Amino acid sequence: MPSAQETTFLKDSAAKAFEPRHRQIINYNIDKYDTAVQIGLTHFHHIENSKRKAHIIKWRMMENLDKLLPEFESNFIQKGGKVIWANDADEAREEIWKIMQRAGAKTVVKSKSMTTEEIGLNDFLEKKGVNTLETDLGEYIVQLLGQKPYHIVTPAMHLSLQDIAALFHERFGTPLDASAQELTLKARELLREPYTSADVGITGGNFLIADTGSIAITENEGNARLTTTFPKIHIAIVGIEKIIPSLGDLDLFWPLLSSHGTGQRLTVYNSIIGGPRQEGETDGPEEMYVVLLDNGRTTLLAQKEQRQGLYCIRCGACLNGCPIYKNVGGHTYNTTYSGPIGSLITPHLRGMEEFKHLSYASSLCGKCSEVCPVKIDIHQMLLLNRRDAVNNGIVAKTEKLAWKGFTFAITKRGIIDLFSGKVKNFLLRRFFKKAWGKHRDLPRLAEKSFSQQWKDRPK
């Protein structure tokens, strides 16, 4: 029996893939990104060497997590910060709530963070009576709509300018034909004051720097800097896989992230934060916490062949290159991390039984592996996930029997040649028409097999 997640995915993706307006918006937005990224990559002297070096660094980090994470913790604590180790989402939320309770905090401003989405922090805090405000423009828009982010980098990629203008007109009375600049100015007007009055600022972190005990945050709007500057408490929630060895490695990872994510040489704002405000400093929080989040990452780390998934720097390049993502969109995956990288890591983070189907949501064209800035062999990892699902007995018995029968038949030329094309076409129509999809016509097989045609060719 398919899982509830698989049933929902198949239903939603079938509907979304044939929604013309959705395809038009997504293809338009991704085409813009593709053009920018192609220009951005020309700034590298030798992009393949840069990607190979990044891959080796991330490999070394994953092999030495047990040494590097304590090194980060020690260096961060020396600067007055506090580190919290969270095994799962529940533990992370409860630890954050303890901080909020001690401070009597009732308001939170957040910069863009996929880890907070992963642990469902917004809903949790709202139920506790805490007013939580997203300050990244894309995140703010989807928060207003009551939606989840559509894309790792661009949360509101599925919306057109007209959609956002209509939303702002309904909520804030802006003109229906407002320009992008006018909408941005309105958002700035709405968001600027909460920074100065919020009790807590919450961010993610693009990188954990082991040798300095710092976190690196990269952004284009400045909201992360405001989130970490005005509130008295700053909480950063970062996955344990984000570790890099030294400050000097940002020289490689920052340009790789920005060029593959948005096509920029470097994002507009790049911050390195190493603890709370120090004596003599004029801004920054009085308290700073870093929550090191596991939440299934060590489960993936234990998979020797698939742990490459932890190398990901969340640039979103594989989503933009994936033909499946461009058709079914981000929301159909029903996961924090969508697209090829989400299909690789989610079965390990959230359970193979519920999410194995995502590893099949791929054409295996290899585009995701080609564009990855840290050379994760994503499409090969998806095949390994499929293998594990079969070996662990998670797939349906009928599916296993069907493939056994196919394998037996396809490797026996006599069986293939035994039936005419008419019989084969009947079997296809009778048993496989539904699997081929209602929007496509089944291919028609030739009357004779290739080997028969070869034998009958003129001598």
Q: How many domains does the chain have?
A: 3
Question: E strands along 49-199, which residues?
Answer: 82-86, 107-110, 131-134
| One domain, residues 229 and 184 | yes
Of 259, 275, 295, the position where a domain reaches its end is 295
Q: Flag whether 198 is in a domain.
A: yes
Q: Flag whether 16 is in a domain.
A: no
Rg (CA), the chain: 25
Q: State the Cα–Cα distance between residues 236 and 202, nearest whole angstrom.
A: 6
Strand partners, 402: none
Question: What DSSP line would sit under 280-347, residue for residue?
Answer: T-SSS-SEEEEEEE-TTHHHHHT-TTTGGGGG-----HHHHH-HHHHHH-SGGG-SSS-HHHHHHHHH
Pairing type for strands 269-273 and 214-219 reads antiparallel
Mean predicted lDDT score pLDDT of the chain:
94
| One domain, residues 282 and 424 | no
Contacts of 6 (CB under 8 A, 6+ apart): 354, 356, 357
**pLDDT tens digits for range 379-428:** 999 999 999 999 988 888 888 888 888 888 888 888 778 777 888 888 88
Q: State the Cα–Cα distance between residues 219 and 111, nearest whole angstrom.
A: 9
- Could you tell me how many helices (H) and strands (E) the chain has, helices first? 24, 10
Whether the predicted pLDDT of 1 surpasses 90 = no
| One domain, residues 175 and 55 | yes
Containing structural domain, residue 451: 397-456
Whether the predicted pLDDT of 119 surpasses 90 = yes
Contact predicate 334/10, CB 8 Å? no
Of 351, 370, 391, the position where a domain reaches its end is 391
| One domain, residues 417 and 436 | yes
Contact predicate 168/140, CB 8 Å? no
**pLDDT tens digits for range 5-46:** 999 999 999 899 999 999 999 999 999 999 999 999 999 999
| One domain, residues 368 and 420 | no
pLDDT grade for 445, boundaries at 50, 70 and 90:
confident
**pLDDT tens digits for range 185-234:** 999 999 999 999 999 999 999 999 999 999 999 999 999 999 999 999 99
pTM for the model stands at: 0.92
How much is the pLDDT for 248?
96
Of 279, 295, 311, the position where a domain reaches its end is 295
| One domain, residues 287 and 305 | no
Sign of CA dihedral 80, 85, 86, 91: negative
